[in-house]
Amino acid sequence: MNSVKKLIAGNWKMNGSLESNTTLLKSILDGDTRADACDAVVCVPSVYLSQINSLIQDAASSRVRLGAQDLSAHEKGAYTGEISVSMLKEFGVSFVIVGHSERRQFHHETDQLVAIKAERALGAGVTPIVCVGETQEEREAGLTEVIVKRQLAAVIHLVGHCISEIVVAYEPVWAIGTGLTATPEQAQSVHAVLRAQLNAAAGDVAQRIRILYGGSMNASNAKSLLTQPDIDGGLIGGASLKALDFLSIIACA
């Protein structure tokens, strides 16, 4: 079992409103009393970073950290609609998701672009949560390992020795938002592949790189996933929008 502290990250995706965010976050902050057992982060839509940052700051003591869902590959300039890492930092962001499959699929993000974004985040001291994962067709064609290794290799290649500062999230595309979850054994076997790849690239320090599982993780299946030796936390979509579910996943970790 990897001894690293687990990380439970909520990805709110494009959900929420000023009113519902306050209710959700306050319930999470109120219910989250065992502060040292694992780390927790909520990755919220950019327009709500300021709101959530204030709510977290107002809480007397909270381990809940703030995350963004994407960042620009550029530092600044004429990139309409984009948000730079230095802007995210001004709003208290310490984690940022990069290469989520929804960005790869709907915004045509390539392995190379994802790697540049990860490098940009690291350069600013923000931890990138680098997502990798295969589609249903790729799994059926026996390509799972090839795909996730290719996606991670692009990041390893670009960020070099800083690789130990990233978080990896294995999110099989076929398990996202579908209610289909990878079995603990299926997830563990891919996590072991990723761990071996990180070990080869970074040596011993790879042991402290957290590899999260994401894809229909919920209050009932979290425990069996989180007790696998190479699963160091979760990246939670739907269940992170319900305070009680998110809190029970945190409790499992």
Calpha distance 127→150 (Å, rounded): 21
Q: How far is the CB of 168 from ligand 13P (least distance, A)?
A: 13
Closer CB to ligand 13P, 41 or 115, in the complex:
41
- Contacting ligand 13P (CB under 6 A), which of 67, 99, 128, 237? 237
Report DSSP state, residue 36: T
- Contacting ligand 13P (CB under 6 A), which of 236, 243, 247, 250? 236
Could you tell me which stretch among 30-38, 194-202, 232-240, 244-252 binds ligand 13P (CB under 6 A)?
232-240
Calpha distance 94→126 (Å, rounded): 5
* Residues 6 or more apart whose Cβ sits within 8 Å of residue 44: 12, 16, 21, 52, 66, 67, 68, 69
**x/- letters, 93..112, toward ligand 13P (CB under 6 A):** -------x------------
Could you tell me which stretch among 14-22, 56-64, 147-155, 235-243 binds ligand 13P (CB under 6 A)?
235-243
- Contacting ligand 13P (CB under 6 A), which of 119, 195, 238, 253? 238
Closer CB to ligand 13P, 41 or 159, in the complex:
41
Q: Where are the alpha helices (DSSP H) in the chain?
A: 18-31, 49-58, 85-90, 101-106, 111-123, 136-140, 144-159, 184-202, 222-226, 243-252
* # of chain residues touching ligand 13P (CB under 6 A): 14
Closer CB to ligand 13P, 128 or 238, in the complex:
238
Q: Which of 125, 103, 102, 98 is CA-nearest to residue 114?
A: 98
Q: Does 171 bind ligand 13P (CB under 6 A)?
A: yes
Calpha distance 207→200 (Å, rounded): 11
- Interface residues with ligand 13P (CB under 6 A) are 11, 100, 171, 176-177, 214-217, 235-239
